[in-house]
Structure 1
């Protein structure tokens, strides 16, 4: 199992509804990528004040590294990231952290 975790910082004027809508589109990729087993997302709610400005996160679970790579190279993933998510981010690529680990 590969866990794919992404932290994002959205621009302050972007609404929760807009964020939810675009992240839900990523979740719909589970219907076309069989190795994608789970997807969840949410707004940071940690009381620890250690988020370093990241406002939201999502996690995807894949059967294996190959399944994750299918997702990363899928044209719909690339479209959603380039056309919808990145324009909403505070500082482009600097507003994203990605961590994958095998479980």
Structure 2
């Protein structure tokens, strides 16, 4: 299992409606990308004071690397990624992306 994690800083001039549309689009990819298992996205509400100004994030779980790789080249994902960069503070530089291999997790 692969967990794809994206953290970002929503621009202050953006409305939550635009972000919700992106989240809905990403969640909908489950229906067209085999092996995409789950999507969760929300505003950051951590009380620890270590957010480094990342305001929102999402995770996507994939059955395996093959499914994750299919997502990465999917045209709809690329379009939604461009939209996300458009609402993120600093554009692409305002995003942090990492993938965890849950099969190897200890």
Sort the TM-score into its range (normalised by shorter chain).
over 0.9
1:53 matched residue in structure 2: 53
In the TM superposition, what whole-angstrom CA distance separates every residue of 1:37-91 from its partner, at most 9, and x where no partner exists?
0000000000111110111010000010110000011011011112x21111110
TM-score (structure 1 length as normaliser): 0.94
Q: Gaps (5+ residues) in structure 2?
A: none
> How far is the alpha carbon of 1:17 from its aligned partner?
2.1
- State yes or no: 1:81 paired with 2:81: yes
For structure 1, list consecutive stretches of 5 or more residues without a partner in the other structure. none
Is 1:13 the counterpart of 2:13? The answer is yes
Counterpart secondary structure, 2:72: helix
Query: Could you tell me which residue of structure 2 aligns to residue 102 of structure 1?
Result: 101
TM-score normalised to the size of structure 2? 0.92
Deviation at 1:22, TM superposition (A): 1.3
* Aligned residue in 1 for 2:26: 26
Runs of 4+ in 1 over 4 A off after TM superposition: none
Distance in 1, matches of 2:49 and 2:24, equals 26
The count of corresponding residues between Structure 1 and Structure 2 is 102
Give the RMSD, CA atoms, in angstroms: 0.9
Aligned partner of residue 48 in structure 1, secondary structure: coil
